Amino acid sequence: MKADRYWQERLNQGVLSDAEALQFAEFALGRVSRTFALNIRVLPRPLRDHVLYAYLYCRMADTLEDDPALSSDAKGNLLRKFSLLLPAEGTVFNIEPFLQEFRAQLPLQWNASTQWEHLLLVHAPVVLAPFFKFSDPVRKVVSRCVQEMCLGMANFAGKQEAGADHLIETLSELDNYCYYVAGTVGVLLCDLFIRHSGRIRSERAKSLKALCVSFGLGLQLTNILKDLHSDNERNVSWLPNELLQAEKITFKDFLSPERRSEAKRIYGILLKKARGHLEDALEYSCLIPKWDRRLRLFCLWPLFMAAETLALLAESTETLAQGARLKIPRSRVKDILLKTRLFVWSNRWIRAEFKKPLRRLESALQTLAAPQPSP
């Protein structure tokens, strides 16, 4: 594609201006996350730019944690080094040696990669440079999120040598994993929202902070359930081992059409868990002041899409068992974008509309819980 070639050539030519760096960041976001690239456009500036770069830093950490070609030791080492590249305070030390050491340990083949997830890390100086121009309060918020995420991911990376069935042992451990990879982002967004609004009083801010983690956890759990087969192709499973053991099956069994009854029971537990987080996340969104309409829309769009996705997954467990990749129809996405713009001002309408996919989800969950007929 022309845009890809242009930016590859431009990055190889040298330093980008501030305006070019922002244009590149917006382009890169569209390549690594189309959904987030859609959401972020609704945010007002300068909040949009802060969230844009913060998300790219989180995505860079996620690439290190996710890449199947990296050993667990390499992942942990790179994640810890990456966390040092975003200091919370002013440039009290020379970051260049840390940057050179980090880039030297990236896989050499990433330099010639066509995947922008890899190229973002190869060209880390371009993406990191704007961070040092953020105000100190914004830098502290972004730094705290990325450092906590990286260190948490590094700890989980050490488990990947044990095999797919043992990455997550318990439901509580699943919550911990989701917190590090997504709950931290919920905290980041909440802090940036409060700072941007400037009109959120302490009591409301306290309530927002009590619910903001669920915003990240609900979306992450939905993605985990949606991507089980894709993760299996990478020999990775985020299903809690205690759920598999309770059903006396392995992760491979879970994906087998012959063990649908056991799989449905596990789906039911995790779908309910995700639903609970999404319900809390909706209350979080409703606590955002009505005059901060753009912030509300930024939260509502992914939440409504996640609720639709959960309902679709619950209604389609037979199809999932056959390895299908399910996505909500594009027409439904457009419908969500249109309707949320209309009822964003009303918490009553927001809650009423959100109940529609949740009712479908509840109906499907009851079917999953019903006794299965004997073969």
Q: CA-CA distances (angstroms) from residue 55 to 15, 31, 175, 234?
A: 22, 13, 21, 24
Q: What is the DSSP letter of 329?
A: -
Task: Locate 316 and state its tokens.
Answer: 């389609």
- What pLDDT shows up at residue 191? 96
Question: Tens digits of per-residue pLDDT, 203-219?
Answer: 999 999 999 999 999 99
- What pLDDT shows up at residue 131? 93
Assign 255 a pLDDT band (cuts: 50, 70, 90).
confident
Task: Locate 136 and state its tokens.
Answer: 């100190």
Q: What angle do CA 217, 221, 222 make, to 5 degrees?
A: 120
Range with the lowest mean pLDDT among 193-202, 272-281, 343-352? 193-202
- What pLDDT shows up at residue 259? 77
Q: CA-CA distances (angstroms) from residue 275 to 91, 109, 112, 355, 357?
A: 43, 41, 41, 11, 10
Distance (Å, rounded) from C-alpha 146 to C-alpha 349?
A: 35
Domains of the chain: 1-135+150-160 (no CATH), 163-375 (1.10.600.10)
